[in-house]
Amino acid sequence: MRVIITGGSGLIGSHLAQKLAREKHEVIVLSRNPSRHRGELAEGVRLEAWDARTADGWGVLAEGADAIVNLAGANLSSGPWTASRRKSIIESRLNAGQAVVQAVQRADRKPGVVIQSSAVGHYGPRGDELITPHAEPGDDFLANLTVQWEDSTAPVEEAGVRRAVIRSGIVLSKAGGALPLFALPFYFFVGGPWGTGKQYYPWIHIDDEAAAIQFLIEDQAAQGAFNLTSPNPVTNRTFAQTLGKVLKRPSFLRLPRFVWKVMGEMSTVIIDGQRAVPARLTELGFNFRYPDLEPALREIFQK
């Protein structure tokens, strides 16, 4: 396969690129600054420049490609969500989607599929309600952001291109994302639940995240929205207890809600949650390598 990845230098994109390259697929990662990332990506991954707004310069690569995986977007955790930061977060995603649509529309031989990134934040805080991809979106900033993000590449369907939207949960990896932040207090023997501890964490191991994306690329029946989460979400209390067990650290010191609130609205990623499950993904026959939390964490921290 020939797969083009936007946002391919990030946590998910780089892992996916490595997996595909290892399997001898042709992998092209688009970057606004290829020289900066040269040497960081897996052997066999090709870097190409783009402006993250248009198909200029790189659009020809979409001609006959098997897939475009659109993961591009400004990092949510790189600073407080000020008005200017919000604008940057939104525009980075809409501009990337616009560039992908432009490339697809220009191609005579259309790509086989566009995989559009999103997140379980789409649903907003939902308590212990079981959330499938059929659930309605929430009404907070993250939910509104994901609605716009998902819609950014919808026009490719009018061009006859299959599209799958991936609503990712908390992706577990030592290389980045939320897990290093979660684990840090445990190393200092002050780990424990966050907030009430009752909120659900829809987690997924990085290997399953990459495998699920490849599965959706290859399965011609995969269309529409999919939750990329473990089939066994856990409460924050259980997550903390399991993390403490794996790290051999205590897990009884609760961090009160107001500690996270100093982060502003960004704290919703940590102190709110969704009990999201991958119903449509498993219906298509995807098998998780790490469906349960403890084996997933042990693989990450003890390899």
pLDDT at residue 288 in the model: 98
* 87-96, Cβ contacts within 8 angstroms, sequence gap of 24 or more: 89/145, 90/145, 90/148, 92/52, 93/145, 93/148, 93/149, 93/152, 94/148, 94/149, 94/152, 95/52, 95/53, 96/6, 96/7, 96/52, 96/53, 96/70, 96/72, 96/152
Question: Given this model, what pLDDT does residue 88 score?
Answer: 92
Q: Give me the number of domains the chain comprises.
A: 1
Among 276, 159, 155, smallest CA distance to 226 is for 276
Residue 260 lies in a domain: no
pLDDT at residue 232 in the model: 97
**What distances in angstroms separate CA 182 from CA 16, 79, 191, 192, 251, one per listed residue?**
23, 17, 8, 9, 11
Residue 215 lies in a domain: yes
pLDDT at residue number 258: 56
Domain that holds residue 281: 2-174+203-232+275-289
DSSP reduced 3-state for 6: strand
The enclosing H or E element of 180 equals helix 179-187
User: Looking at the domain assignment, is residue 14 inside a domain?
Assistant: yes
pLDDT tens track for 67-124: 999 999 988 876 677 888 889 999 999 999 999 999 999 999 999 999 999 999 999 9
Does residue 216 belong to any structural domain of this protein?
Answer: yes
State residue 260's pLDDT score.
Answer: 57
Assigned domain for 269 exists: no
- Which residue stretches of the chain have pLDDT < 50? none
- Distances in whole angstroms, Cα of residue 126 to Cα of each of 76, 115, 199, 286: 20, 26, 9, 25
CA 210 to CA 19: how far, in whole Å? Answer: 7
For residue 59, what is the domain's CATH number?
3.40.50.720
Kindly state whether residue 280 falls inside one of the protein's structural domains: yes
Is residue 186 a contact partner of residue 251, using CB atoms and an 8 Å limit?
yes
User: Is residue 249, in this structure, part of any structural domain at all?
Assistant: no
In a domain, 196, yes or no: no
